[in-house]
Amino acid sequence: MKIETYVLKNGIEIPKLGLGTFRIRPDDCEKTVASAIQNGYRLIDTANVYMNERAVGRGVKNAGVDRDEIIVASKIWPTEYKYKKAGKAIDATLARLGLDVLDLLILHQPFGRVEEAWRAAEEAVKAGKVRMLGVSNFDEADLEKINTYSTIKPVLDQVECHPYCQRRALSAYLKAHDILLESWYPLGSGSGGLFGEKAVVELAEKYQKAPAQVILRWQIEEGYLPIPGTKNPAHAAENADIFDFSLTEEELASLRALDRNERFFKMKKGIQKYMVFFQRMKYDKQK
C-alpha cells in the first residue's frame, strides 16, 4: 500500500495520510503503531497528553522499517509553555519516545505563553533535536501573531476538520501562507452520523469503497492531511487504501454541502476542563 506525499514549505516530504493515536492506550498502541508502519504508514501522530509516547516509540522501533522513513510527530501542552519548562518538555518527549530526533514538534494549543514555547522549540531545532515545527488549533489571528516573532515558520496547523466542519476561512488562509492543514477528527471521531450521510453512502456505493474511505479521499482532494485514529488493523488498511480513486468536482461539491460549521469538540468550553486535568498529569508515569 503506497501512501502519496505532499511537499512542505521547507522542502520535506510528508505522507498525505497519517495514523492518529489519541485514546489508544499503551497496551494497544505499541502493536497498532508497528503494524501500521509495516503496512505502509509513515506518519505517526502522538502528544504528551495522550500518555502513550513510550508505546509509540516502541512501535516505531519494532516496526522494522528504517527510522529515516518515518515521521514521528508529538505535541507539548500549554502547561509546559514557560520557556525553560518547554525545553525540558521537549527533551522529556524525546526520552519517552526513545528518539534522538523528533521529526515534527507541535504546540498543542494557542493558549498561554506561546511565544516562550516557540522560542524553546526553535532552539530545539537549532540544536538538532527537532526537524520541523507545527501548531495545532491555531486560528488566523494566532498564526498572524506567531508570524511576528518566529524565525522558523510552522509547516502545518492540526485542526478539527471533517465534512461537518470544513474550516473554509482557515483553510484559505493556510493555503495562502503555504501551511498544510492537518485534520484531526477527520472521520468526525467515528460517530455523529457522517458515515450514514446520503452523499457519503452514494459515493461509497459508486466507488465500491467504505464511507470512511470516501471521507478521507475528500480530505486528500481538498489538499488536507488526515490522521484517522484506529486500533483496528483492518480499518488502518482501509483508511490508507484511498489512492486508487478520485472524486469529480460535482461529487466534491456534494460533500462540501455537508458543512454546518459544527465542531464535535467544543474547544473553548472543553479547554478549561482539560487545562486543569492535564496540569495534574504525570507524563512519566505512562507504560
Q: Which of 50, 164, 185, 224 is catalytic?
A: 50
Q: Is the Cβ of residue 115 or residue 238 nearer to ligand NAP in the bound state?
A: 238
Q: Which of 229, 240, 255, 258 contacts ligand NAP by CB under 6 A?
A: 229
Q: Is the Cβ of residue 21 or residue 254 nearer to ligand NAP in the bound state?
A: 21
Return the range that interacts with ligand NAP (CB under 6 A); candidates 17-25, 63-71, 86-94, 201-209: 17-25
Grid coordinates standing for 272? Answer: 478549561
| Spatial CA neighbour of 45 closest among 28, 69, 24, 65 | 24
* Binding-site size, ligand NAP (CB under 6 A): 26
93 interacts with ligand NAP by CB under 6 A? no
What phi-psi label fits residue 149: left (phi over 0), alpha (psi between -120 and 50 degrees) or beta? alpha
Q: Which of 35, 48, 158, 166 contacts ligand NAP by CB under 6 A?
A: 158
Q: Which of 48, 52, 79, 137 contacts ligand NAP by CB under 6 A?
A: 137
134 interacts with ligand NAP by CB under 6 A? no
Q: Which of 184, 218, 278, 283 contacts ligand NAP by CB under 6 A?
A: 184
Q: Minimum distance between the CB of residue 239 and ligand NAP, rounded to whole angstroms?
A: 5
Would you call 191 exposed, middle or buried from its count of C-beta atoms within 10 A (0-12, 13-18, 19+)?
Answer: exposed
238 interacts with ligand NAP by CB under 6 A? yes
Q: Minimum distance between the CB of residue 214 and ligand NAP, rounded to whole angstroms?
A: 11
Q: Which of 231, 247, 251, 255 contacts ligand NAP by CB under 6 A?
A: 231
Cell 486528500 sits on residue? 220
**3-class SS string, the chain:** CCCCEEECCCCCEEECCCEECCCCCHHHHHHHHHHHHHCCCCEEECCHHHCCHHHHHHHHHHCCCCHHHCEEEEEECHHHCCHHHHHHHHHHHHHHHCCCCEEEEEECCCCCCHHHHHHHHHHHHHCCCEEEEEEECCCHHHHHHHHHHCCCCCCEEEEECECCECCHHHHHHHHHCCCEEEEECCCHHHCCCHHHCHHHHHHHHHHCCCHHHHHHHHHHHCCCEECCECCCHHHHHHHHCCCCCCCCHHHHHHHHCCCCCCCCCCHHHHHHHHHHHHHCCCHHHCC
Instruction: Give catalytic status of residue 50 as yes or no.
Output: yes
Q: Which of 232, 246, 248, 279 contacts ligand NAP by CB under 6 A?
A: 232
Per-residue x/- track, 202-221, ligand NAP (CB under 6 A): --------x-x---------
Q: Minimum distance between the CB of residue 235 and ligand NAP, rounded to whole angstroms?
A: 4
Q: Minimum distance between the CB of residue 249 and ligand NAP, rounded to whole angstroms?
A: 25
Q: Is the Cβ of residue 45 or residue 251 nearer to ligand NAP in the bound state?
A: 45
102 - beta bridge partners? 130
22 interacts with ligand NAP by CB under 6 A? yes
Q: Which residues bind ligand NAP (CB under 6 A)?
A: 20-22, 45, 108, 136-137, 158, 184-190, 210, 212, 227-232, 235, 238-239
Catalytic (active-site) positions: 50
